[in-house]
Amino acid sequence: TQLLEQSPQFLSIQEGENLTVYCNSSSVFSSLQWYRQEPGEGPVLLVTVVTGGEVKKLKRLTFQFGDARKDSSLHITAAQPGDTGLYLCAGRVGAQKLVFGQGTRLTINP
């Protein structure tokens, strides 16, 4: 059973389109992170959100933490081929444990 459910699991869209990826749970997290992973590499941190309702922007990427700290979303505006990759959300449980969702595999077609 996955503690964090990401949707969609796969997404293929055209360059220039907008998209949103969701990360949902029934658990409350002290913080939530989004990572991006490219083939042959380990995940790399994009952002950490801590406060319920928090919104963070990273260029064309907008991250939001749900008010109840149980869910998060990642919105990409005007997607580019360079955005292609596996996007992973990760929630911190307790003092140390960081659990990941199963990931959203995003493909941006030129």
Partner 1 sequence: DSGVTQTPKHLITATGQRVTLRCSPRSGDLSVYWYQQSLDQGLQFLIQYYNGEERAKGNILERFSAQQFPDLHSELNLSSLELGDSALYFCASAKGTSGGAGTGELFFGEGSRLTVL
**Strand ranges for 1-110 from DSSP E:** 5-7, 10-14, 19-24, 32-37, 44-49, 55-58, 61-65, 71-76, 85-93, 97-100, 104-109
Residue 37, beta-bridge partner list: 86
- For partner 1 (CB under 8 A), the number of binding residues is 26
Which C-beta is closer to partner 1: that of 1 or that of 14? 1
Alpha carbon 52 to its chain's center: 16
Q: How far is the CB of 6 from partner 1 (least distance, A)?
A: 8
Interface of this chain with partner 1, residues 45 to 104, rule: CB under 8 A: 45, 48, 50, 88, 90, 92, 94-103
Binding site for partner 1 (CB under 8 A): 2, 30-31, 33, 35, 40-45, 48, 50, 88, 90, 92, 94-103
